Amino acid sequence: MTTTPALPVRTRRVKTSTVVLTAVAVIVGAGFVLPAIWILIGSFRPNAEILTTMSPLSWHLVIPSEVTFENYVHLLVDSGFARALLNSFIVCIASVAIGLAMSAMAAYALAVYQFPGRNLIFAVIVISFMVPFEAIAIPLAQQFTDWGLGNTMTGLILPGVANGLAIFNLRQYFLGIPQSYREAAMIDGASEPRILFSLYARLSGPALTNSALLIFLGQWTAFLWPLLIVSDQKLQLAPVALAGTFGEHAADYGQNFAGTIVLTLVPAVSMFVLQRFFGRLSIGSGEK
């Protein structure tokens, strides 16, 4: 912010523009969240009411005739969803921890060092995330089964660990960190791992958050892979369990919506918290 004392007129203009910008931000935010709100409301109403209130248009669309927690109770207590949720959580946390460390190291090497073959490796990484996972899932699942990784947590975690997109994202961010920082740290006697994990990582809060999110969401929404690799009901993941609310002839929209809300809240809340936490740790703020 400017440190010169602002004139009264100027202050007022700033205020009007802030008001306008805030209004736009609120409207945009509300517009994006609207369909999710409808799902949220649906998760608290009787199953039969969810789609029958869609037309004709009336206030019943958003106001339930009764508020019920039945959907959540059925989902979390009576079906196997709670266990699947825990499984998903374990898989995601493990994937993020391993995947992020791996990606940060690779990104650092690609951003900082000059070495022959660097561009080739980078190209391989870029191409690796272009090939749709669905195209390689079946042969990979067969390979995993041969290795004895079928029906194991390791088998669920591994494919999420190798994320070329996360490497690419971190590399782009690391390239923006001036080399001089690193050189200065070296003069101070810091080792390479130390430069990476305490200097670069500290300056890259937002990029690390985003990359963690990339890996997390990839695993959190995994559907095809667990179907192929897990036949033990106890190891099933949440998205597969949620799909079970669709029967052959009918769907339990109430439970489906309740599950949708649970699955939405976990990444949304963690992202909100992480943003507050890491938002300040960036190159821009570091130089202030």
Partner 1 sequence: MSLITPLSRRRLLAGLAAATASALVLTACGGGDDSGTGSTAGGWSLPSSDPTATIKVLSILDLKTAHMQEVIDAFEKAHPTIKVDYQSVPFDSLNSTLDARIANKGGDPDVYWADQPRISALAARGEAEDLTKAFAGFKSSFDPTAYDSGMFQDKLWALPIANSSQLLYYNKALLKKAGLAEPSADPNQRMTWEQLTKDAAKAKSSGAQYGFLFGQFDRYYQLEPLPVQLGGSPGATGDKNLTPDFTSEQWVKAFTWYGDLFKQGVAPKGMKSEETDPAFVAGRAAYMVEGPWLIPQLGASKVDWGVAPQPVFEGGKPATPTGSWSLAMNPFSKQKEAAAVFMKWMAVDEGGGYIKYRSDPELAASPEGKKIYFQKSVFSSPAGKDAAKIIDFETSNTAVNRVPTIGYIEFETILNQAFADIRNGADAKTALDSASAQLTTAWKKYQ
Partner 2 sequence: MASSTVTSEPVVAKRRRAGRRPEAGRQRPGRRQELMWAAIFLSPAIVALVVLRVVPTVGAVVQSLYKAFPGGIIPATFHGLGNYESLFADPNFVSTIVRTLVFNAIINPFQIVLALLLAVLFTQKIPAVGVWRTLVFIPITVPIVGSSIAWGAALNPEGPVNALISALGGNPQPFLTSPDQALAGIIMLASWIGIGYWMLFLISGLQAIPEELYDAAKIDRAGPIRTFFSITIPMLKRPLLFVLVADTVANFVLFVPVQLLTQGGPQNSTTLLMFDAYRTTYGYGSRNLGAAEVVILTVIMIFFVLLQFRLLREERTPR
Site for partner 2 in 231-270 (CB under 8 A): 239, 242-243, 253, 256-257, 259-260, 263-268
Q: Which does 100 bind (CB under 5 to 8 A by kind): partner 1, partner 2, none?
A: none
Instruction: By CB under 8 A, tell whether 181 contacts partner 2.
Output: yes
Q: Which does 140 bind (CB under 5 to 8 A by kind): partner 1, partner 2, none?
A: partner 2
H or E segment to which residue 72 belongs: helix 70-73
HSE-CB at 42 with a 13 A cutoff on CA atoms is 26
Binder among 6, 33, 48, 93 for partner 2 (CB under 8 A): 33
HSE-CB at 47 with a 13 A cutoff on CA atoms is 15
Of 69-77, 82-90, 98-106, 229-237, the segment contacting partner 2 by CB under 8 A is 98-106
Nearest distance in Å: CB 235, partner 2: 19
Binder among 16, 65, 221, 231 for partner 2 (CB under 8 A): 221
Taking each helix axis as running N to C, give the angle between helix 253-278 and helix 81-112, from 0 to 180 degrees, rounded to the nearest 10: 30
Measured CA to CA, the distance from residue 1 to residue 272 in angstroms comes to 25
Nearest distance in Å: CB 211, partner 2: 10
Q: Is the peptide bond before 226 cis (omega within 30 degrees of 0)?
A: no
Q: Which does 282 bind (CB under 5 to 8 A by kind): partner 2, partner 1, none?
A: partner 2
Of 65-73, 78-86, 229-237, 272-280, the segment contacting partner 2 by CB under 8 A is 272-280
Nearest distance in Å: CB 263, partner 1: 15
Nearest distance in Å: CB 79, partner 1: 5
H or E segment to which residue 215 belongs: helix 205-220
Comparing C-alpha atoms, which of 81, 78, 50, 79 is closest to residue 66? 50
- 3-state SS string for 109-172: HHHHCCCCCHHHHHHHHHHHHHCCHHHHHHHHHHHHHHCCCCCCHHHHHHHHHCCHHHHHHHHH
Comparing CB distances to partner 1, the nearer of 195 and 212 is 195
Site for partner 2 in 107-166 (CB under 8 A): 108-111, 113-115, 121, 124-132, 134-136, 138-140, 143, 158-159, 161-162, 164-165
